[in-house]
Amino acid sequence: MTTTVERPYGSIGAQAGGGVDSRRWLALAIIAVAQLMIVLDASIVNIAMPKAQADLHISVADRQWIVTAYTLAFGGLLLLGGRIADFIGRKRAFVGGLLGFATASAIGGLAPDASFLFAARALQGAFAAVLAPAALSLITVTFTETRERARAFGVYGAIAGGGAALGLILGGVLTEYTSWRWCLLVNVPIALLTAAAALPIVGESRAEGKARYDIPGTLTVTAGLVSLVYGFTKAAEDGWSSAVTLGFLAAAAALLVGFVIVEARSAAPLLPLRVIWERNRGASFLSSLLIGGGLFAMFLFLTFYFQVSLGYSALRTGFAFLPFSAGIIVSAGLASQLMPRTGPKVPMVAGTVLTVVGLFTLTQIGLDTSYVSHVLPGELLMSIGLGLIFVPMSSLALIGVEPHDAGVASALVNATQQVGGSLGTALLNTVFATAVTNYVIDHGASPQSTAQAQISGYTTAFVWGAVLILLALATIVVLVRAGKDEVPAQAGAVHAG
Report the predicted TM-score, pTM, of the whole model to 2 decimal places: 0.86
CA-closest candidate to residue 153, choices 407, 494, 493:
493
pLDDT of res. 56: 96
Q: Report the alpha-carbon distance of residue 367 to residue 178 in Å, rounded.
A: 28
pLDDT of res. 5: 42
CA atoms within 13 A on the CB side of 53: 20
pLDDT of res. 341: 87
pLDDT of res. 17: 41
CA-closest candidate to residue 333, choices 152, 485, 158:
158
Sign of CA dihedral 197, 202, 208, 214: negative
Q: How far is Cα of residue 281 from the mean position of the Cα atoms in its chain?
A: 19
Q: Report the alpha-carbon distance of residue 42 to residue 105 in Å, rounded.
A: 12
Q: What is the 3-state secondary structure (H, E, C) of the chain?
A: CCCCEEEEECCCCCCCCCCCCCHHHHHHHHHHHHHHHHHHHHHHHHHHHHHHHHHCCCCCCCCCHHHHHHHHHHHHHHHHHHHHHHHHCHHHHHHHHHHHHHHHHHHHHCCCCHHHHHHHHHHHHHHHHHHHHHHHHHHHHHCCCHHHHHHHHHHHHHHHHHHHHHHHHHHHHHHHHCCCCHHHHCHHHHHHHHHHHHHHHCCEEEEECCCCCCHHHHHHHHHHHHHHHHHHHHHHHHCCCCHHHHHHHHHHHHHHHHHHHHHHHCCCCCCCHHHHHCHHHHHHHHHHHHHHHHHHHHHHHHHHHHHHHCCCCHHHHHHHHHHHHHHHHHHHHHHHHHHHHHCCHHHHHHHHHHHHHHHHHHCCCCCCCCHHHHHHHHHHHHHHHHHHHHHHHHHHCCCCCCHHHHHHHHHHHHHHHHHHHHHHHHHHHHHHHHHHHHHHHHHCCCHHHHHHHHHHHHHHHHHHHHHHHHHHHHHHHHHCCCCHHHCCCCCCCCCCC
pLDDT of res. 12: 46
Q: Report the alpha-carbon distance of residue 341 to residue 99 in Å, rounded.
A: 44
What is the pLDDT tens value at each position of the chain, 497 positions in all?
A: 343 444 444 444 444 344 455 688 888 889 988 988 888 887 888 899 999 999 999 999 899 999 899 989 998 888 888 888 888 888 999 999 999 999 999 999 999 999 999 999 999 999 999 998 888 888 878 887 777 777 777 777 677 666 777 888 899 999 999 999 999 999 999 999 999 999 998 888 776 666 678 889 889 999 999 999 999 988 888 888 899 999 999 999 999 999 999 999 988 888 888 888 888 999 999 999 999 988 888 888 999 999 999 999 999 999 999 898 888 888 888 888 888 888 889 999 999 999 999 999 999 999 999 999 999 999 999 999 998 998 888 888 888 878 777 778 878 888 898 899 899 999 999 999 999 999 999 988 888 899 999 999 999 999 999 999 999 999 999 999 887 776 665 544 444 44
pLDDT of res. 488: 62
Q: Report the alpha-carbon distance of residue 167 to residue 175 in Å, rounded.
A: 12
Contact 431, 464 (CB under 8 A): yes
Q: Report the alpha-carbon distance of residue 232 to residue 170 in Å, rounded.
A: 32
CA atoms within 13 A on the CB side of 146: 2
